[in-house]
Amino acid sequence: MPVPAYERVVIGELDNSTACSMNTLISVADLDADGRPDVFVSGRDGLMAWFRNPGEPGQAWTRQQIGEVSCIECGGMAFDLDGDGLPDVLTGGDWRSDEVAWWRNPGHSGGRWERRVLFRTPGKQFHDIAVGDITGDGRVSVVFGNQGSASLFWAPIPEDPTVSPWPDVQRIADGLIEDGLPEEGLCIADIDGDGRNEIVAGTRWFRYVGAPNVWEAHNFASGYVTTVIAVADVDGDGRPETVLSEGDPCIYGHPEGGKLGWFKPGTGHPGSVDRAPPRRGAARCPFAAGRRPLRRRAQRHPRRRDRRCEQAGREPAALAPV
């Protein structure tokens, strides 16, 4: 079978050369509801903007500003929260913020994107947000993890989503720590194949049992830290598997990291477990100094941290066969 060739198309540029120069958020949604998916990007601090899909090859993607931002963490997304047919943007704050917010899409009126706070929590930093029906009743909820309190929360979209903050925010679980690190990664999918969605959060998945806010928790991937998660039918049997990739261990000063595996529900065994030895070095993380856990670890093990951060460029760990 021929290997498809790729063509690079430059969409645009969002230069956020601020104190925390990093674009943390990118996602795709049809923000102007013209039938063509658009792209939006945000800096951690600076600007958030979306790029309008021109629809024709060779035409320019025009940049539209959403707003000036600060403390934007990874993991934001688009969803039409107010039901007007235009996707809105949800964002979580980073280690400096205790807020999850949404930006209301003004549509063709050309007005500004208004920011409203959805939630304030006891802890800061929200790496991931997901939206879906997690209770099987057809009502859509927002789910988010909060690293500062090591907790997972959910709230159904209220009748009037412009209220701030939203009512009925409930905690699904706390103590979401793996190997001493707050968990990351979030996905909504039908894990057990019963036709209703569950939540995958870090190394655990959660099934809604019923009111009042009763959940089953299942750990399926012990030893994987700071994960990025995807759910897809990897083996083609019509059932979804869960794919985990360790994302941020080096930011937290951990030398291991880079394990990648997929996990098959229903067999009683993890579908794939990385058996490669832990990597001795971690890639340089230029942004690491801003994360609290690293600062704490760096104070305890300053020389070890320096050595880790200098080691880079090793081959990635092999994926064990299923």
Q: Which residues bind Ca ion (CB under 5 A)?
A: 30, 32, 34, 36, 38, 80, 82, 84, 86, 88, 105, 190, 192, 194, 196, 198, 233, 235, 237, 239, 241
What minimum distance in Å lies between the beta carbon of 215 and Ca ion?
13
Nearer to Ca ion, 34 or 306 (CB): 34
Phi, psi of 252, rounded to the nearest 5 degrees: -90, 10
Q: State in angstroms the smallest separation of the CB of 264 from Ca ion.
A: 7
Measured from the CB atom, is 4 or 236 closer to Ca ion?
A: 236
Residue among 100, 255, 260 at smallest CA distance from 166:
100
If the CB atoms of residues 202 and 240 are measured against Ca ion, the closer one turns out to be: 240
Q: 137 or 310, CB closer to Ca ion?
A: 137
Between CA 54 and CA 64 the distance in angstroms is 13
Q: How far apart are CA 96 and CA 285, in angstroms?
A: 19
CB of 320 to Ca ion, least distance (A): 18
Q: How far is the CB of 82 from Ca ion (least distance, A)?
A: 4
Distance, CA of 129 to CA of 121 (rounded, Å):
14
Q: Is the Cβ of residue 184 or residue 241 nearer to Ca ion in the bound state? A: 241
Min dist. Cβ of residue 8 to Ca ion (A) = 21
d(CA 31, CA 199): 26
Q: For the chain, how many residues are written?
A: 322
In the sheet where 214-219 sits, what is the strand order?
A: 186-189, 198-201, 204-210, 214-219
Q: How far is the CB of 121 from Ca ion (least distance, A)?
A: 24
Using the minimum distance from each CB to Ca ion, give the nearer residue, 177 or 319.
Answer: 319
Distance CA 243, CA 96 (A): 29
CA 307 – CA 164 distance, rounded (Å): 46
| CB of 291 vs Ca ion, minimal distance in Å | 33
Intra-chain end-to-end CA distance of the chain, in Å: 24
51 vs 126 by CB, closer to Ca ion: 51
What is d(CA 137, CA 157) in angstroms, rounded to the nearest whole number? 13
Q: Give the residue among 53, 39, 131, 149 at the shortest CA–CA distance from 93.
A: 149
